Chain A
Amino acid sequence: MTFLELTGVRKQFPGGVVAVQNFDLSAARGEFVSFLGPSGCGKTTTLRMIAGFEQPTDGTIKIDGKDVTNAAPNKRNVGMVFQSYALFPNMSVADNIAFGLKIRGTPGDKVRKRVDELLELIHLQDRGSRYPYQLSGGQQQRVALARALAIEPTVLLLDEPLSALDAKIRIALRHEIRQIQRQLGITTVYVTHDQEEALELSDRVVVMSEGRVEQIGTPFEIYNFPATPFVASFVGTLNAIAARIVDAGSGRLAIGGREIRTTSTLTGAPGDVVGVALRPEMITLVEGPEPDVGPGRNVVPATVKDVAFLGAVVRFGVIVGEGDEAASIDVDTFNNPNLAVPAIGAPVIITFPPEACLVLGTDVPEVTRDALAAAEALL
């Protein structure tokens, strides 16, 4: 059942800038939804509209069936965690957590009990009397989370809460956030531009670009079946290749003059150029003669262009075809000490299954002409 519902939400700032348009979202109780997108895509503005800090120009926002579109922020019972922590520097950790409860007139003994519970939840039992400036960034953000949770909000909103932290703490804290969210079963909206964060934490991800929703789906759907060229390029590393249709009906295409097959819906006349997305980790690279990979799998000869060591992954850049038809493709392989690294310029074979070859802009029926134009621009 829908718990948080945004219908036709649009935000236009004075001066005419449209930050968010046609935003629709239905989130179930206890669901963890992430807004993912580049800076300026409207994700924070949407979050701020849910919090009540911004008023939508059009559309409605409902929480638990109640229309809160025009309700003041302090009347929504929505917890918010900010990127900059926003702890009150004049108050101790315990007082920060107790702030919302005191406003609600909660009796002193209940406030103390709740504060102790939350301090335990964030593993800062012995830091209650400290002041924010005496804590590390990660500890401050945990206090901010506890403070937002203290009031038992209907919806928890997190605005890039880990952006100001270093990588190690960020990873530890995001596990902690997810664990706490699952434990409390609180409906959560999380804003981030970090795809890894969004994919790991969320039940569903809303990918946004230029104020519009590009795709809403589970992390699996978003990563494996991008609905638009933008999603395909923004989420994960992607090979965006121009391919020529050989026979749309049987899903046959040509890359660099070599025929391949796709399971994606393909429409168009033979010779038409379409955008094809191919994840680097879905491709296998082999040296030597053409391997027997079984029926159906695409097998394409290529030449090694460069090799990059990225720690756990080795990325090979290969060229398929020659001249104007040549396509540049990245192939990812897990690093291991016995990995045979082909020399630059060596002939290799790349293989990938037909289902790994996504034809951009044709997989989802509601894809617009604009998206197709964007796909062409991308290529």
Chain B
Amino acid sequence: MILSDLLDAPVHDGAGRRLGFVVDVRLVLDGPLDGGVLVAPRAHGLLVSPRTSTSFLGYERTGERAPALLARWLQRRHRGTFLVLWEDVVAADPDGVRLASAYRRWSPALPEP
């Protein structure tokens, strides 16, 4: 699978209700070392938004507030964005992502390093 297969894919819950679209994949650097110097990134979760465009700037998940007008407009466009953890993903393919019935929604905010 490649990342583009997941990006913009529709996300449905266990009952088949459409929740939004995958706008990004959150990775965590805690995978195996595999002979390199940096551990492999592991899929931690999916960021799901009601709309697909203009999320690439990340204003809805970072503390970035400048330029103020752009930041406010983009945060407003992506209200309702949430994170679902990879454990809650039952199936993920280019046709869409299906979540477990008992999935949980989490804040999309990206913690400061």
Is chain B found bound to chain A in the same assembly? Answer: no
B-contacting residues of A (Cβ < 8 Å)? none
A-contacting residues of B (Cβ < 8 Å)? none
